[in-house]
């Protein structure tokens, strides 16, 4: 008789590897950031400012890729929570892409035009996120100027052309991420409701 060898059960390969998550978030963060990037180019259009905004987007891409490639997230990656995050991300991306036609009136405009923006811009969600981010960043700069340096703080060219756009991009990204969490949470409720409805008939079969 031949001895039977007992093999180890096959291990499932991880689907939330860093490379796969990096591709996923590069696509979705890049497309989601398009409206904000186009609007910000009117105000921050120097090479340093453009680099700062791209660095801000890249920060979120790598941050999201790192978080969603961890073993903790891997436990929910293929479950209901993972599905809701993926669907929420796609819904948020579609909202951003659908907003792009509303930015057409901004073509050829300068920074002064943002003082009296076209009415279509008010229907772009990312416009309000960006507006709030700019206000908060400049409030922070004023607070540092008044209380942190006794009124002697002044921005140099690096701070004006790189740090301010980078901080604004990061803060707006946080606000957009909060909206993503809200959308994903609503999606989770809907998916859970649909799953419960599908399981209800099989779990409550009337007895004879």
Tokens of 145: 């100027």
Contact predicate 38/103, CB 8 Å: yes
The pLDDT value given to residue 9: 45
> Which of 165, 158, 157, 113 minimizes the C-alpha distance to 137?
165
Q: How would DSSP label each residue in 49-89?
A: HHHHHHHHHHHHHHHHHHHHTSHHHHHHHTSHHHHHHHHHH
The pLDDT value given to residue 29: 94
The tens place of each residue's pLDDT in the chain, 208 residues long, gives 455 445 444 444 567 889 999 999 999 999 999 999 999 998 888 899 999 999 999 999 999 999 999 988 888 777 888 889 989 999 999 999 999 999 998 887 777 777 778 888 999 999 999 999 999 999 988 888 777 656 555 555 566 789 899 999 999 999 999 999 999 999 999 999 988 888 765 555 555 5
Contact predicate 21/69, CB 8 Å: yes
The span from the CA of 126 to the CA of 94, in Å, is 12
Collapse the DSSP code of 203 into the 3-class scheme (helix H, G, I; strand E, B; otherwise coil) and give the result: helix
Residue with tokens 């989601």: 32
């Amino acid at each position: 008789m031949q001895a039977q060898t007992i093999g180890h059960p096959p291990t499932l390969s991880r689907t939330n590897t860093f490379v796969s998550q990096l591709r996923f978030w590069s696509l979705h963060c890049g497309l989601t950031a398009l409206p904000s990037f186009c609007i910000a180019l009117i105000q921050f259009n120097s090479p340093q400012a453009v680099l700062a905004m791209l660095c801000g987007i890249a920060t979120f891409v790598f941050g999201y890729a790192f978080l969603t490639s961890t073993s903790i997230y891997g436990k929910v990656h293929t479950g209901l929570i993972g599905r809701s995050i993926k669907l929420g991300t796609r819904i948020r991306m579609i909202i951003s892409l659908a907003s792009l036609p509303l930015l057409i009136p901004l073509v050829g405009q300068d920074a002064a035009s943002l003082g009296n923006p076209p009415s279509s811009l008010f229907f772009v969600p990312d416009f309000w996120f960006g507006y709030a981010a700019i206000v908060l960043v400049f409030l922070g700069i004023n607070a540092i100027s008044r209380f942190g340096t006794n009124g002697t703080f002044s921005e140099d060219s690096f701070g004006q052309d790189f740090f301010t756009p980078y901080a604004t991009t990061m803060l707006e990204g946080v606000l957009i991420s909060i909206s993503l969490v809200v959308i994903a949470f609503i999606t989770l409720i809907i998916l859970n409701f649909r799953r419960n409805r599908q399981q209800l008939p099989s779990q409550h079969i009337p007895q004879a």
